Amino acid sequence: MSVTVRSYPDEGPSALGTTGRGPVHASALPTIGDIGGLLVYLFGNPYLFISSTTAMTSGLLLGAVLVSVLPRRTHTLRRVAPTLAVILSYFGLGSIVLSTEILLRFHDTIPNETEIQFVSGLGHLVEAALGIALLSSYLRGHTRVEWLWAHTLALSYWTFQVAVLTPPWFAFQGQREAVLQVVLIMLVVAATLNVLLWRTTARR
Protein backbone atom coordinates (compact mmCIF):
# COMPACT_ATOMS: atom_id res chain seq x y z
CA MET A 1 0.00 0.00 0.00
CA SER A 2 1.24 3.45 -0.85
CA VAL A 3 0.39 6.88 0.47
CA THR A 4 -0.46 9.39 -2.23
CA VAL A 5 -1.33 13.06 -2.20
CA ARG A 6 -4.80 14.22 -3.22
CA SER A 7 -4.87 17.66 -4.81
CA TYR A 8 -7.83 20.02 -4.68
CA PRO A 9 -8.69 22.96 -6.94
CA ASP A 10 -7.80 25.54 -4.30
CA GLU A 11 -4.41 23.99 -3.63
CA GLY A 12 -1.39 24.34 -5.86
CA PRO A 13 2.36 24.02 -5.67
CA SER A 14 2.65 27.30 -3.79
CA ALA A 15 0.32 26.03 -1.09
CA LEU A 16 2.26 22.81 -0.73
CA GLY A 17 5.54 24.68 -0.67
CA THR A 18 4.24 26.94 2.09
CA THR A 19 2.64 24.40 4.37
CA GLY A 20 4.70 21.40 3.37
CA ARG A 21 1.65 19.19 3.82
CA GLY A 22 -1.43 18.38 1.80
CA PRO A 23 -4.44 16.15 2.52
CA VAL A 24 -3.38 12.53 2.17
CA HIS A 25 -5.17 9.26 1.83
CA ALA A 26 -4.05 5.66 1.61
CA SER A 27 -4.63 3.87 -1.68
CA ALA A 28 -3.20 1.04 -3.69
CA LEU A 29 -3.29 3.04 -6.93
CA PRO A 30 -3.06 6.81 -7.51
CA THR A 31 -6.19 8.51 -8.79
CA ILE A 32 -6.35 10.88 -11.75
CA GLY A 33 -6.45 13.72 -9.24
CA ASP A 34 -3.28 12.43 -7.56
CA ILE A 35 -1.43 12.23 -10.87
CA GLY A 36 -2.71 15.65 -11.91
CA GLY A 37 -1.60 17.17 -8.63
CA LEU A 38 1.83 15.59 -9.00
CA LEU A 39 2.24 16.95 -12.54
CA VAL A 40 1.22 20.42 -11.39
CA TYR A 41 3.82 20.27 -8.65
CA LEU A 42 6.53 18.99 -11.01
CA PHE A 43 5.90 21.71 -13.61
CA GLY A 44 5.61 24.33 -10.90
CA ASN A 45 8.93 23.33 -9.34
CA PRO A 46 11.08 21.96 -12.19
CA TYR A 47 14.32 23.03 -10.54
CA LEU A 48 13.83 20.30 -7.95
CA PHE A 49 14.05 17.58 -10.56
CA ILE A 50 15.56 18.83 -13.82
CA SER A 51 18.72 20.90 -13.96
CA SER A 52 21.60 21.48 -16.35
CA THR A 53 23.40 18.60 -14.64
CA THR A 54 20.55 16.19 -15.34
CA ALA A 55 20.13 17.45 -18.90
CA MET A 56 23.84 17.35 -19.80
CA THR A 57 24.51 13.96 -18.21
CA SER A 58 21.38 12.48 -19.80
CA GLY A 59 22.59 14.00 -23.07
CA LEU A 60 25.89 12.14 -22.73
CA LEU A 61 23.99 8.91 -22.18
CA LEU A 62 21.74 9.59 -25.17
CA GLY A 63 24.85 10.28 -27.25
CA ALA A 64 26.25 6.89 -26.27
CA VAL A 65 22.98 5.23 -27.29
CA LEU A 66 23.09 6.96 -30.68
CA VAL A 67 26.73 6.04 -31.22
CA SER A 68 25.91 2.41 -30.40
CA VAL A 69 23.94 2.13 -33.65
CA LEU A 70 26.66 3.56 -35.89
CA PRO A 71 28.74 1.30 -38.16
CA ARG A 72 32.06 2.03 -36.36
CA ARG A 73 30.54 2.10 -32.90
CA THR A 74 32.94 -0.38 -31.30
CA HIS A 75 36.05 1.79 -31.63
CA THR A 76 34.29 4.98 -30.56
CA LEU A 77 32.48 3.48 -27.58
CA ARG A 78 35.59 1.68 -26.33
CA ARG A 79 37.34 5.05 -26.15
CA VAL A 80 34.59 6.95 -24.35
CA ALA A 81 32.97 4.16 -22.32
CA PRO A 82 35.25 4.35 -19.24
CA THR A 83 34.80 8.11 -18.86
CA LEU A 84 31.03 7.88 -19.34
CA ALA A 85 30.82 5.03 -16.84
CA VAL A 86 32.66 7.03 -14.16
CA ILE A 87 30.54 10.13 -14.87
CA LEU A 88 27.35 8.07 -14.56
CA SER A 89 28.60 6.45 -11.34
CA TYR A 90 29.08 9.84 -9.72
CA PHE A 91 25.74 10.98 -11.14
CA GLY A 92 23.74 8.06 -9.76
CA LEU A 93 25.42 7.81 -6.36
CA GLY A 94 25.46 11.56 -5.80
CA SER A 95 21.78 11.89 -6.67
CA ILE A 96 20.61 9.13 -4.35
CA VAL A 97 22.81 10.31 -1.48
CA LEU A 98 21.52 13.89 -1.74
CA SER A 99 17.87 12.84 -2.12
CA THR A 100 18.23 10.51 0.88
CA GLU A 101 19.74 13.33 2.96
CA ILE A 102 16.84 15.59 1.98
CA LEU A 103 14.30 12.90 2.85
CA LEU A 104 15.80 12.18 6.28
CA ARG A 105 16.36 15.82 7.17
CA PHE A 106 13.14 17.46 6.00
CA HIS A 107 10.52 14.73 5.82
CA ASP A 108 8.87 15.66 9.12
CA THR A 109 8.12 19.19 7.90
CA ILE A 110 7.59 18.73 4.15
CA PRO A 111 6.84 15.03 3.52
CA ASN A 112 5.31 15.38 0.05
CA GLU A 113 8.16 17.32 -1.56
CA THR A 114 10.89 15.21 0.06
CA GLU A 115 9.29 11.95 -1.03
CA ILE A 116 9.01 13.21 -4.60
CA GLN A 117 12.64 14.34 -4.44
CA PHE A 118 13.66 10.89 -3.20
CA VAL A 119 11.85 9.24 -6.10
CA SER A 120 13.70 11.63 -8.40
CA GLY A 121 16.99 10.49 -6.86
CA LEU A 122 16.02 6.87 -7.44
CA GLY A 123 15.23 7.73 -11.04
CA HIS A 124 18.69 9.26 -11.50
CA LEU A 125 20.27 6.15 -9.96
CA VAL A 126 18.32 3.86 -12.29
CA GLU A 127 19.29 5.99 -15.29
CA ALA A 128 22.96 5.74 -14.30
CA ALA A 129 22.71 1.98 -13.81
CA LEU A 130 21.06 1.51 -17.20
CA GLY A 131 23.75 3.61 -18.84
CA ILE A 132 26.56 1.60 -17.27
CA ALA A 133 24.81 -1.63 -18.26
CA LEU A 134 24.62 -0.35 -21.84
CA LEU A 135 28.36 0.36 -21.79
CA SER A 136 29.37 -2.81 -19.93
CA SER A 137 30.57 -4.72 -23.00
CA TYR A 138 32.91 -1.82 -23.86
CA LEU A 139 34.43 -1.53 -20.38
CA ARG A 140 36.50 -4.71 -20.48
CA GLY A 141 40.20 -4.89 -21.28
CA HIS A 142 41.15 -1.27 -20.50
CA THR A 143 44.51 -0.51 -18.94
CA ARG A 144 45.08 1.15 -15.58
CA VAL A 145 46.18 4.34 -17.34
CA GLU A 146 43.02 4.44 -19.44
CA TRP A 147 40.88 4.18 -16.30
CA LEU A 148 42.90 6.92 -14.62
CA TRP A 149 42.34 9.19 -17.60
CA ALA A 150 38.65 8.33 -17.44
CA HIS A 151 38.53 9.29 -13.76
CA THR A 152 40.46 12.50 -14.40
CA LEU A 153 38.06 13.57 -17.15
CA ALA A 154 35.04 12.64 -15.04
CA LEU A 155 36.36 14.70 -12.11
CA SER A 156 36.89 17.65 -14.44
CA TYR A 157 33.31 17.29 -15.70
CA TRP A 158 31.81 17.19 -12.21
CA THR A 159 34.02 19.99 -10.89
CA PHE A 160 32.68 22.18 -13.69
CA GLN A 161 29.09 21.10 -12.97
CA VAL A 162 29.39 21.80 -9.25
CA ALA A 163 31.62 24.88 -9.15
CA VAL A 164 30.32 26.71 -12.22
CA LEU A 165 26.74 25.55 -12.86
CA THR A 166 25.92 24.37 -9.31
CA PRO A 167 22.83 22.15 -9.58
CA PRO A 168 19.84 24.12 -8.22
CA TRP A 169 18.59 21.20 -6.13
CA PHE A 170 21.62 21.81 -3.89
CA ALA A 171 19.59 24.77 -2.60
CA PHE A 172 16.65 22.66 -1.40
CA GLN A 173 15.33 24.29 1.81
CA GLY A 174 18.22 26.77 1.88
CA GLN A 175 21.04 24.26 2.31
CA ARG A 176 22.96 25.31 -0.81
CA GLU A 177 26.16 26.44 0.91
CA ALA A 178 26.36 23.39 3.17
CA VAL A 179 25.79 20.92 0.34
CA LEU A 180 28.16 22.77 -1.99
CA GLN A 181 30.92 22.75 0.62
CA VAL A 182 30.54 19.01 1.29
CA VAL A 183 30.51 18.15 -2.42
CA LEU A 184 33.58 20.29 -3.13
CA ILE A 185 35.45 18.62 -0.27
CA MET A 186 34.54 15.21 -1.68
CA LEU A 187 35.79 16.27 -5.12
CA VAL A 188 39.07 17.46 -3.59
CA VAL A 189 39.47 14.10 -1.81
CA ALA A 190 38.73 12.25 -5.06
CA ALA A 191 41.20 14.44 -6.96
CA THR A 192 43.88 13.84 -4.33
CA LEU A 193 43.35 10.10 -4.59
CA ASN A 194 43.54 10.42 -8.36
CA VAL A 195 46.91 12.18 -8.16
CA LEU A 196 48.26 9.48 -5.83
CA LEU A 197 47.14 6.78 -8.23
CA TRP A 198 48.82 8.60 -11.13
CA ARG A 199 52.08 8.78 -9.17
CA THR A 200 51.89 5.12 -8.24
CA THR A 201 51.30 4.20 -11.86
CA ALA A 202 54.17 6.36 -13.08
CA ARG A 203 56.62 4.56 -10.78
CA ARG A 204 55.79 1.15 -12.21
Please report the pLDDT score of residue 26 as a whole number. 43
Q: Give the residue from 91, 64, 59 showing the smallest Cα distance to 158.
A: 91
97 pLDDT more than 80: yes
Mean pLDDT of the chain: 78
The percentage of the chain sitting over the pLDDT mark of 90, rounded to a whole number, equals: 36
Rounded Cα distance between 185 and 93, Å, is 16
d(CA 120, CA 86): 20
Is residue 82 predicted with pLDDT exceeding 90? Answer: yes
pLDDT of residue 141: 92
Cα radius of gyration (the chain): 20
Residue with more model confidence, 54 or 89: 89
Per-residue pLDDT of 172-181, as tens digits, reads 888 999 999 9
Angle, helices 111-135/73-106, rounded to nearest 10 degrees: 160
- Where do the structural domains in the chain lie, given as residue ranges? 1-44, 46-203
Q: What is the pTM (predicted TM-score) of this model?
A: 0.70
Number of C-beta neighbours around residue 86 at 10 A:
20
pLDDT of residue 40: 64
Instruction: Using alpha carbons, list the distances in angstroms from residue 105 to 79, 118, 158, 173.
Output: 41, 12, 25, 10
What pLDDT is attached to residue 149?
Answer: 96
Candidate ranges 38-42, 75-79, 126-130; pick with highest mean pLDDT: 126-130
Model pLDDT, residue 146: 95
Cα–Cα distance measured from residue 91 to residue 161, given in angstroms and rounded to the nearest whole number: 11
- Residue closest to 148 by CA, chosen among 188, 196, 114: 196
Give pLDDT tens digits for 1-48: 334 343 334 444 334 444 444 444 444 455 666 556 655 655 565 554
Q: How confident is the model at residue 113 (pLDDT cuts 50, 70, 90)?
A: confident
The pLDDT of residue 98 = 92
